[in-house]
DNA sequence: CGCGGCGTTGACGCATTTCAATCCTCGTGG
DNA sequence: CCACGAGGATTGAAATGCGTCAACGCCGCG
């Protein structure tokens, strides 16, 4: 989960071959898990294509999705010796894997990379603060509204008053587990938004925000 | 929010005077706020004495406490240009303030410090994953149990089967806002635990876990 | 054409919140 | 020393938002 500006930016014109040397590509099929929660953490990952979901599990199977990651996002910072989360592909995804050892060689060679990684972690921390507020204090309506706005912030939204089209590549189950709700509640609230003409649902994955500003207002709990 | 091993460890025998030069001490009175959510972020902080609470607010006043910090903990990583959280003293607290500019001089002088900061951020990220699971997926009972166990992990617990004494320096309101519950629910559940002989409540701030293991079991949702 | 997986909708139940009353506990002043 | 008051904590009763259970719909695939 790191945003834009892949880590390569801190290496700039420097030897990209060195970076390639330390990493290996891999492809993960839809639904395939490639990080096991609690497993010893040997690698960092950068998502180069497709999307992945990160999550933690309770012993009885309850699941909390802690984030979705896509192209350019960085994975594995939330890990010391073992991964604090599991990860699996959402649709087929391609990744760059950086073994910790290799990463260390890279940070020695390019000291600014270390700073870049910290920035990445900081950005992630800031996002998580907001998500904790969502999970701890927002109503179901507010959560779904926040989710929609979040999705449209991913895009570089042109005009906040104009309708925005967006697609939700993840199934309802994932949305629910991300928002700390059930699929039924998510479904009901999307239907309610539709009835209120706040959104239109073209297909299961394709939604248009008709009144982004109002949804944004709901998201902040200012109804 | 950084644990043990203050950042000084990465400087070791090196010039501590340099570090002192870049920082300034400050004391914050009980309940006084010293970081304003959303304000431009100019400083890092290290808690040197007492405790502080970190939180985010919704416009209508709902509050989510995102963490408690105490001696040695690091504050301000979850901030790029502006703070992603507010902070205020819980009881009177003393802090070390490091302006970003000074911190940058330090990381240039002691490159390992940058790595240390990343570690700190990673540790924090891992904790937050767990907290998101708590807020999104655990029941009230499980949340309170988790909170108790968390508190006792802060101590270096000797024997997990023996009773553990711990004090909760924060008011119920803070516990509730930390767990995403109401004070009433927190209170009721503590009473229930008492009735079940899982804990004993010596005073408002002083609680003994009579059966740490059982509480731990509840915390993981394995009841 | 029919089956299976996901999504929606409805009815009902329950955990937690909300509202409200009472209880501590501790500091203050008579 | 005790009465008193105020703020937080506890306890109880009622309300409610969301979850659970269950039926149904939609759609793609064999």
> Is the Cβ–Cβ distance between A91 and A30 less than 8 Å?
yes
pLDDT at A16: 58
- Which protein residues, judged by their CB atom, are less than 7 Å from any atom of strand C? A 171-173, 183-184, 186-188, 190-191, 201, 204; B 139-141, 180-182, 184-185, 188, 203-204
CATH 2.60.120.10 boundaries in chain A: 7-127
* Chain A residues 74 to 133 with C-beta below 7 Å from nucleic strand D: none
Tokens 């950086």 — which residue?
A98
Check residue B186 and give its pLDDT: 98
Give the chain B residue whose CA is nearest to the CA of A119: B80
For CATH 1.10.10.10, the residue range(s) in chain B are 138-219
**What pLDDT is stored for residue A18 in this prediction?**
67
Which residues of chain A carry a pLDDT beneath 70? 1-19
A201 contacts A168 by C-beta, under 8 angstroms: no
Does strand D come within 7 Å of the CB of A198? no
CATH architecture of B7-124: Sandwich (2.60)
> What is the structure's pLDDT at B7?
54
Q: Do B221 and A62 touch (CB under 8 A)?
A: yes
pLDDT at position B123, please?
94
Q: Where in chain B is the domain with CATH 2.60.120.10?
A: 7-124
Q: From 2.60.120.10, 2.60.40.10, 3.40.920.10, 3.20.20.70, which CATH number describes the A7-127 domain?
A: 2.60.120.10
Query: Cα separation of B211 and B162, whole Å?
Result: 7
The string over B76-102, giving b where at least 16 C-beta atoms fall within 10 Å of a residue's C-beta and e elsewhere, is: bbbbeeebbbbbbbbeebebbbbeeeb
Q: Give the H or E element holding residue B5.
A: none
* Chain B contact present for A82, CB below 8 A: no
Q: Both ends of chain B: CA-CA distance in Å?
A: 30
User: d(Cα A159, Cα A147) in Å, to the nearest integer?
Assistant: 18
For domain A138-219, the question of CATH label 1.10.10.10 is answered with: yes
What was the pLDDT predicted at A7? Answer: 54
Which residues of chain B carry a pLDDT beneath 50? 1-5, 12-14
Closest CA–CA distance from residue A58 to any residue of chain B (Å): 7
What torsion, rounded to 10 degrees, do the Cα atoms B72, B78, B83, B85 define?
A: -80
Sequence-separated (6 or more) residues with CB below 8 Å from residue B80: A119, A122, A123, A126, B41
């Amino acid at each position: 989960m790191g945003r834009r500006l892949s880590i390569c930016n801190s290496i700039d014109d420097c030897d990209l071959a060195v970076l390639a040397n330390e990493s290996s590509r891999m492809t993960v099929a839809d639904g395939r898990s490639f990080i096991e929660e609690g497993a010893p953490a040997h690698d960092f990952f950068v998502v180069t294509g497709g999307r992945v979901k990160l999550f933690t599990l309770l012993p009885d199977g309850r699941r909390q999705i802690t984030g979705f990651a896509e192209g350019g996002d960085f994975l594995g910072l939330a890990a010391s010796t073992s991964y604090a989360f599991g990860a699996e592909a959402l649709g087929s995804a391609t990744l760059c894997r950086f073994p910790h050892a290799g990463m260390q060689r890279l940070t020695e060679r390019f000291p600014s990379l270390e700073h870049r990684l910290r920035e990445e972690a900081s950005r992630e921390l800031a996002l998580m603060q907001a998500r904790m507020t969502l999970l701890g204090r927002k109503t179901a309506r507010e959560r779904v509204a926040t989710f929609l706005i979040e999705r449209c912030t991913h895009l570089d939204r042109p005009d906040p008053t104009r309708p925005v089209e967006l697609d939700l590549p993840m199934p309802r189950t994932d949305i629910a587990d991300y928002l700390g709700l059930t699929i039924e509640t998510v479904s009901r609230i999307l239907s309610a938004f539709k009835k209120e003409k706040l959104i239109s649902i073209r297909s299961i994955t394709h939604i248009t925000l008709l009144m982004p500003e109002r949804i944004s207002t709901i998201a902040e709990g200012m109804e």
